[in-house]
Each structure stands twice: as structure tokens, then as C-alpha cells.
Amino acid sequence: MKARIDHSVCMVLLLAVPSLASEPNQPAVGVRGHVGCLQGPHRVERLTITRPGVYENYLIDGRWAKRDLVRIKADVVALRNCEVRNGCRDGIEVYAKDVRIENCHVHHLLAGTFAEQMDAHGITGRPTKLLVRNCEIDHVTGDAVQFDPGRKPWDDVRIERCTFWTGLLAADAAGFKKGQRPGENALDTKNLARNPRSRVVVRDCLFHGWRDGQIGMMAALNVKEHVQVTVERCLFRDNQVCFRLRGPTGPRGGALVTIRDCAVYDSDIAVRTEDRIRDLTIRRLGIGKGVKRRVTRAGGGYGAGYVYEGEHVPPPFEKLRKEGFLKAAE
């Protein structure tokens, strides 16, 4: 199950990923096809990766231990078709370069209690050149994805065709009760202005259920501090805030954000701008049914360089989810 592969061979394997675009009857936005383990997975309670290679078909069940479940410390690694579940700390931590996480399901990471919120993130760490592709993350008490809690340098993260959501727990677990909704944000960014600006691209992802959880203001995307984030062709539904975008805050700096061809449905706020965020560009944002407020301003809202153009009424959610933005627009 566990592969140790020559560095050059491994690079070929990491790049040779079949496209799902041509699969029939697959949604255009969010996860496609099977996510998680294949038949006969290798069952472990913890996985620490210290050698390059392809690691596939692991079921990592933490049995509610208070420890991180997967730690990737080696460069040039692929983690594929795995399920990471039932932990009280982070699901996957990445402290390496050239890492791919694909077709994985990360869920039920519950730290603290509902009233005493503690972080248990889905994917976190300090990566450089990380691809998170076709993954599902749900029911975590921290953020589905957060970089970097320690605010040290990280860079070049791509998140593609993923689904990040939270909802009511179906059963009691790890100090939480059935019917409670864990979580903070789907994506949260952290960095210091003295570090190089960290870059993130998010494409073709689905975000839903980020409301009524453990913090006062939940957001699908909580983009802040010294980062540059591009969001394209993403769908948002049933969130308190879809885009929470924050400008300069002292030594932590402010975010640079570009949003293109996204759509929002059944949410309290589509875009919340804060702290005079500069050079914010939003183009062709679809405001669907059930959106209470389009763009709000707090702490100065948006600043210089603000562009907002092409707002429109998008097709119904299910049509856009199935067909994608380009086809639905035809």
C-alpha cells in the first residue's frame, strides 16, 4: 500500500492524473465521482509520511485521539483515495513542497465542545506548491482549509473541484451532541506582511452550510492578511457570508483578491468587505435567489482600486452545478 518511489519517477506519477472533465453525468462544480477509499483500504490510526511517493487507499481513523491524523513531511508526495476521520485535532498537515491531495474525504474532526470551540482543521500546515483536488471536507471544528496557523511562509496553493461543507451532526460524537453544527470557515488564510505574499487559487468548488456554527460570523471564504487569492467558477449556497474579504491589519497586512464567474444562493451576505481592502476585483458575480445582502462594508469596507462589474441573475443552482459556468451561459 505504501510506496517509496524514486524522485524523478514520482514527479511523472504526480503529473499523470486523468481528467474527469469528460466523465458523463458528473457535476461541473464540486467533487466528481467517488471520493474516499477504494475497496480493501489499509486501515491505520495515524499516518506520517517522511519519504516521497504515492500513498493511496488508506483509511485513517483516529478513534477520537487528541493528535493530528496525517502529517506530510516529505517533498513530492501524492495522497490519493483516502478517508481521514474521527479525530480531535487536524486531519492533514502539510510541511513540504510538491504535494497533491486528491479524491480524499476528510471529516468529523471535533475538538473541544460546541460551546468551547477549539481548532481541528481539515487540511493545514505550511505547504509550498500544494494541489488539493476533488476532495470533500466536512464537519470540522476549525476551518476546512487553513494556512498557516503559525503565520510562517507558505505559498502556491491550488484548490480545484472540491466540496467544503458543514451541517448538523447526525449523532453524538467526541463531546458534541446530535444536531449541533461544528465549524468556522471553509478557507481561512493567515500570514505576516514581512513574509512573501502567499498565493492561493480556488476553482470549480462548492461551498455550503457555513452558518449557525461555533463562531459569531461564519464565512465560506475568510480571506485576510498578506495573501493573494483568486476565486473562479465557484458556487456558494446556504452560508452566512460567502466572501469575507479583509484589508490591512497592521503587521499582518491585507489580502489582494480577484473573484471571477462565481454565483451565490440562499445566503445572508454575498460579499463582506472590511478594512479598506484595496484592489478588490469582482467580475460576473451571479446573485441568485435567497441572497439577503449583495455587498456590505465594515471597518472602512473596500478601498482604492475596487472593481465590481457584470453582476447578473444566474441560472438555477442545480443547472449551474451540473453544467458549469461556461455551458450554462450559452
Please give the average per-residue pLDDT across 74-86, as a whole number.
Answer: 98
Ranking 19-23, 43-47, 163-167 by mean pLDDT, the lowest is 19-23
Rounded distance between C-alpha atoms, residue 254 and residue 274, angstroms:
10
Q: What is the pLDDT of residue 327?
A: 59
Q: Look at strands 70-72 and 227-232 and give their pairing.
A: unpaired
Ranking 12-26, 199-213, 260-274 by mean pLDDT, the lowest is 12-26
Every domain of the chain and the residues it spans: 1-16+27-153, 184-330
Q: What is the pLDDT of residue 249?
A: 87
Total number of residues shown for the chain: 330
Q: What is the CA radius of gyration of the chain?
A: 19
Report pLDDT digits (tens) over 159-178: 999 999 999 999 999 999 99
Rounded distance between C-alpha atoms, residue 151 and residue 154, angstroms:
9
Rounded distance between C-alpha atoms, residue 66 and residue 140, angstroms:
14
In the chain, % of residues over pLDDT 70: 92
Q: How far lies 283's CA from each of 118, 196, 240, 307, 317, in Å? A: 36, 27, 21, 8, 19
pLDDT confidence of 8, banded at 50, 70, 90? very low
Rounded distance between C-alpha atoms, residue 190 and residue 183, angstroms:
17
How many CB atoms neighbour CB 95 within 10 A? 18
| CB 122 within 8 Å of CB 106 | yes
Rounded distance between C-alpha atoms, residue 247 and residue 299, angstroms:
9
Q: Which of 221, 327, 229 is nearest to 264 (CA)?
A: 221
| CB 151 within 8 Å of CB 160 | no
Q: What is the pLDDT of residue 25?
A: 77
For the question of whether the overall pTM of this predicted structure is more than 0.85, the answer is: yes
In the chain, % of residues over pLDDT 90: 89
Residue 243, pLDDT above cutoff 50: yes
Please give the average per-residue pLDDT across 275-287, as a whole number.
Answer: 98
Contacts of 92 (CB under 8 A, 6+ apart): 69, 70, 71, 72, 79, 84, 101, 104, 106, 122, 123, 124, 125
Report pLDDT digits (tens) over 208-218: 999 999 999 99
Q: Which of 304, 308, 311, 302 is nearest to 273 (CA)?
A: 302
Residue 6, pLDDT above cutoff 90: no
Q: Which of 244, 231, 261 is nearest to 324 (CA)?
A: 261
Rounded distance between C-alpha atoms, residue 125 and residue 72, angstroms:
9
Rounded distance between C-alpha atoms, residue 325 and residue 330, angstroms:
9
Please give the average per-residue pLDDT across 225-238, as a whole number.
Answer: 98
Residue 4, pLDDT above cutoff 50: no
Rounded distance between C-alpha atoms, residue 64 and residue 198, angstroms:
32
Residue 165: phi and psi, rounded to 5, are -155, 165
